[in-house]
Homo-oligomer: A and B are copies of this chain.
Amino acid sequence: MKLEELGERRAIDMIWDAIGKKVDYDDCAVIDDGKHYLLLTTDYVGEETHFPGNVNPRALGRFIAAVNLSDIAAMGGTPEFFMLSSFMPGDTHFDFAKELITGMRSMLERYDVEYLGGDFKKAKMIGFSGFAVGRVLKENILRRRGAKVGDGIFVTAPMGKNAASYYLWKAGLGDFEPVLKVEPRVREGKELAGKAHTCMDTSDGLIASMFQMQKINNLGFSIDLDSVPLHPLAIEVMEDLKISLKDILNFGGDYELVYTASSKILGYEIGEVVEGKIDYGGKGYESFGKVLDQT
């Protein structure tokens, strides 16, 4: 069967099954390191899947760093080190690479993360894999498993800004740059650390996150979609371009944190953990199911 027929998550499940390993899905891999856990994560960002060919390299560099740091943030960790594996066509101009690294470093410096270099190779398209290493005190780690019936469900900020920017760009009404504008919620993650019961980021959109959390916790994540706080741009785009709330919430790219806790620690309450799973009418965004296109 072809990967696009399976979808990213089912293909990953089938691979883990094939190699006979049982895994707890989290935003990072977790390694025992004395009083701490080391958190390791890698995220691929590539042409056509995540950005168009004429992308602003500095914005792209910031984005690549941000999406990797977001995974550390989602586990309550402090990001410490970053490496980048880059590949691009031979006729790419040096300034593109330089601007990209400059953008990446500006994001890393904001969170005091050291850039350790990486790899730099020729390929027929532009793409990157970032690798981030972080650390968290064992008692403070935030995982996806651990929700309790009665927990509130919260997000760190109103949703939909990146989705709205994407639909504006798709309609030829805006630049792509705002789609890549992501702030990893490192400070928020550290504030939630040791307090929230579960946490993950909304990189694939709120619906995908809720779908994952239900599966892992075997509980219902009951959210009233109509009362999810939305960014003003999302409200505007939904009205002007006739984009549905589902299209906004299904789109990845927010990189906010969604967490459960017995009471609010920060952000906005959007629902409650209940017995029995909720049907959202879909699984949300999947890498192998979507192509970035501009009409």
Contacts and interface: CB of A to CB of B under 8 A. Distances in A.
B98 A23 contact: no
Given A83-B29, A133-B40, A288-B90, A123 B49 contact: yes
Nearest to A6: B94
Given A19-B101, A40-B83, A3 B88 contact: yes
Nearest to A98: B18
B92 A2 contact: yes
Contact of A83 (B16, B118, B131): B131
A23 B115 CA distance: 11
Interface stretch (A7-15, A158-166, A184-192, A272-280): A7-15
A139 interface: no
A42 to B, nearest CB: 4
Interface in A47-91: 47-49, 81, 83-91
Contact of A129 (B88, B129, B287): B129
Interface string A86-114: 11111111100110011001000000000
Contact of A116 (B29, B287, B291): B29
Contact-residue size bin, chain A (C-beta under 8 Å from the other chain): 35 or more
B93 A48 contact: no
A177 interface: no
B40 A87 contact: no
A40 B81 contact: yes
B127 A94 contact: no
Contact of A29 (B4, B18, B49, B117): B117
Interface in A1-41: 1-4, 6, 8, 11-12, 14-16, 18-19, 21, 23, 29, 31, 40-41
Contacts of A46: 87, 121, 123
Nearest to A10: B94
Nearest to A104: B19
A225 interface: no
Nearest to A116: B29
A14 to B, nearest CB: 7
Interface string A130-141: 010100000000
A15 B81 contact: no
A122 interface: yes
A94 B3 contact: yes
A119 interface: yes
26 contacts: A2-B91, A3-B89, A4-B90, A4-B91, A11-B97, A11-B120, A12-B120, A14-B98, A15-B97, A16-B117, A18-B101, A18-B102, A29-B117, A40-B131, A40-B133, A41-B83, A42-B85, A44-B87, A44-B123, A46-B87, A46-B123, A48-B124, A49-B123, A85-B85, A90-B288, A129-B131
